[in-house]
Structure 1
Amino acid sequence: MTPAAAPYRGRFAPSPTGDLHAGSLLAALGSWLMARHAGGEWWVRIEDLDRPREVPGAAGRQLAALAAFGLVPDGPVVRQSDRDALYRAALDRLLLSGAAFACHCSRSDLAASGGVHRRCVARARRADPSVRLRVPDGSVVAFDDLVCGPQRQDVARDAGDFVLRRADGYWAYQLAVVVDDAEQGVTDVVRGADLLDSTPRQILLQRALGVPTPRHAHLPLLLDAGGRKLSKSDASHPLDPARPLPALRAAWRALGQRDGALDDATDAAGALAAARRAFEAERIPASRFPSIAAAHNGGDANRP
């Protein structure tokens, strides 16, 4: 007898490096619509691991803005900064099994290989080494993205042994997001296409930890006139929570949805209700970024 599939649970996971802007609203709305379309839950997680880049008060303003736009999570909001014990337990398991190892290499040590670690070439031992996942040669990961289509990456060649805990003691994004998604029962990861290139590493790590791999859907990015992701651009102005309708309608259009579907709405609740009725997942456009395979054959890939 085939086990029943887990109920749909999606999430939106902003980093508190600034206020909510149009690009982050697109990701929030897209993930919320995919969850509601599947009759599932939508959760919010604050990814506040990178303390040097965190803007004081940004997380609170992001949550307040989401509420003003009617995007209220179905479960408790969690913060990665409170989950150190979970990450430590996962790292200890990987170290004990030999899947992870301490590495004394610095960025300058790996400059000749373009930052890709295939063996330790450190010129000196470090007091606080990083910890990396061991990625054997031939570690090719393929998956079907629900928006961007079939993806394939040779993780050993293109990313190498990637960092799980940084030399400065901070947890790496790859470890934290995998542990969090598994612990929270996330079945579907819907996020911006700038993270498409990270997905094969996360799948390898999920396999090493023996946790489920979610389905993935990577949404189109909002770019400025120079082709930069909006969050890294001077054009990434904070949204006005007092005027949610223009921003919701703009995000709706960027998701490729039918013009006019939200025109009769007079408030955020009405706009979201109309969006739920009219949403067609198959209309979401594929990323303006190239696929993983194209990116690693001379394309421009963002690699977090």
Structure 2
Amino acid sequence: MPSSPYRGRFAPSPTGPLHLGSMLAAFGSWLLARHAGGRWLVRIEDVDPPREVAGAAASQLATLAAFGLQPDEPVQYQSRRHGLYRAALERLLADGRAFPCHCSRTDLAGQHGIHRHCVGGRQRPHPAIRLRVADDTHVAFDDGLQGHFGQWVDRAVGDVVLLRADGCWAYQLAVVVDDAAQGISDVVRGADLLDSTPRQILLQRALGLPQPRYLHLPLLLDAQGAKLSKSLAARPVDATDPLPTLRWLWAALGQEAAELEGIDALPALLQRAVAAFQPGRLRRDAIPAARPLP
């Protein structure tokens, strides 16, 4: 496990403006980094052009700046780091840990989408590349907030895609390579990525990379108990008036609301938040957003 100094990060995908759920992850990761006296980085995960929205990355960075969440180092863009991913992939291929796969989603439908062996009958001009996952591969780790978590990767996921057939890098490879290259010691993100972590740990082991500490913040839920999506979580936060949203997020993270009352200047509010932040108060369970949102 990593040692000091603490290096955290916030890594949004440029698929739209930052919403309340993404700001919870940004603010939570920023607070934990500041509490530890460490550094906080921002990385734009733009390796999936079909899902990218024009101007979204610039909008996200502007929103972070409006909320006073400034990274300690220059922003990194995954779209400029293809050489790192290619080098990692070539290493895995050379070691026999990765292999080309010509299977389509239709081919794998009979296996519930889980790849354990190739079943495709045709050869694609540009096959996907997968990480070879051995039978009975169980990966477990201790999450900083959610506790012990384990997964039989071969049964739950199968052979992990590293390079898609359309030529796009898979999230799992890019995030592992980038976290190592940037020296990330602590990954703080939403609990929707909790079950991706065993795959990433498996890939870290295959590449001989260090394993960071992980802490997965709870999700925001709507009144029906489902993950907030189009109705609220995807609504852009108001970058022109960040204080109400920051106070809401502060309380949603389990912190004492009174600590930020009466502070009307953004720098003073953030300074007070760092001084008053208590990681032990972080909520583990999902957060209902039934109360009025900012």
Aligned position for 2:249: 251
Aligned position for 1:60: 58
Q: Residue 142 of structure 1 contacts residue 150 of structure 1 at CA under 8 Å; is this kept in 2?
A: yes
CA distance in structure 1 between the partners assigned to 2:222 and 2:230 by the alignment: 7
Q: Residue 244 of structure 1 contacts residue 267 of structure 1 at CA under 8 Å; is this kept in 2?
A: no
The alpha-carbon deviation at position 105 of structure 1 amounts to 0.7
CA distance in structure 2 between the partners assigned to 1:57 and 1:225 by the alignment: 32
The alpha-carbon deviation at position 95 of structure 1 amounts to 0.3
CA RMSD of aligned residues (A): 1.4
Q: Residue 143 of structure 1 contacts residue 151 of structure 1 at CA under 8 Å; is this kept in 2?
A: yes
The correspondence of residues 76-87 of structure 1 with structure 2, limited to 5 A, is 76-87=74-85
Q: Which runs of 5+ in 2 are unaligned?
A: 288-294
Q: Which runs of 5+ in 1 are unaligned?
A: 290-304
Give the secondary structure class of the aligned counterpart of 1:137: coil
Aligned position for 2:21: 23
The alpha-carbon deviation at position 229 of structure 1 amounts to 3.0
CA distance in structure 2 between the partners assigned to 1:4 and 1:34 by the alignment: 16
The alpha-carbon deviation at position 123 of structure 1 amounts to 2.1
Aligned position for 2:68: 70
Give the secondary structure class of the aligned counterpart of 1:18: coil
Give the secondary structure class of the aligned counterpart of 1:239: coil
CA distance in structure 1 between the partners assigned to 2:210 and 2:220 by the alignment: 30
The alpha-carbon deviation at position 265 of structure 1 amounts to 1.5
Give the secondary structure class of the aligned counterpart of 1:261: helix
CA distance in structure 1 between the partners assigned to 2:238 and 2:87 by the alignment: 41
The alpha-carbon deviation at position 89 of structure 1 amounts to 0.5
CA distance in structure 1 between the partners assigned to 2:236 and 2:268 by the alignment: 23
The alpha-carbon deviation at position 244 of structure 1 amounts to 0.6
Q: Match for 1:139: what amino acid?
A: T
The alpha-carbon deviation at position 255 of structure 1 amounts to 0.7
Q: Residue 68 of structure 1 contacts residue 268 of structure 1 at CA under 8 Å; is this kept in 2?
A: no
The correspondence of residues 130-169 of structure 1 with structure 2, limited to 5 A, is 130-169=128-167
Using the size of structure 2 for normalisation, the TM-score is: 0.94
Q: Residue 224 of structure 1 contacts residue 233 of structure 1 at CA under 8 Å; is this kept in 2?
A: no
Q: Residue 94 of structure 1 contacts residue 208 of structure 1 at CA under 8 Å; is this kept in 2?
A: yes
Of the candidates 272, 275, 284, which is equivalent to residue 274 of structure 1?
272
The alpha-carbon deviation at position 67 of structure 1 amounts to 0.6
Aligned position for 1:234: 231
Q: Residue 203 of structure 1 contacts residue 213 of structure 1 at CA under 8 Å; is this kept in 2?
A: yes
CA distance in structure 1 between the partners assigned to 2:163 and 2:285 by the alignment: 30
Aligned position for 1:223: 221
The alpha-carbon deviation at position 267 of structure 1 amounts to 2.1
CA distance in structure 2 between the partners assigned to 1:197 and 1:4 by the alignment: 21
The 1:125/1:4 distance shift into structure 2, 3 A limit, reads closer
Give the secondary structure class of the aligned counterpart of 2:107: coil
**1:186-233 CA distance string (max 9 Å, x none):** 000000000000000000000000000000000011123344433x32
CA distance in structure 2 between the partners assigned to 1:223 and 1:56 by the alignment: 28
Aligned position for 2:292: none
State how many pairs are aligned. Answer: 286
The alpha-carbon deviation at position 4 of structure 1 amounts to 8.9
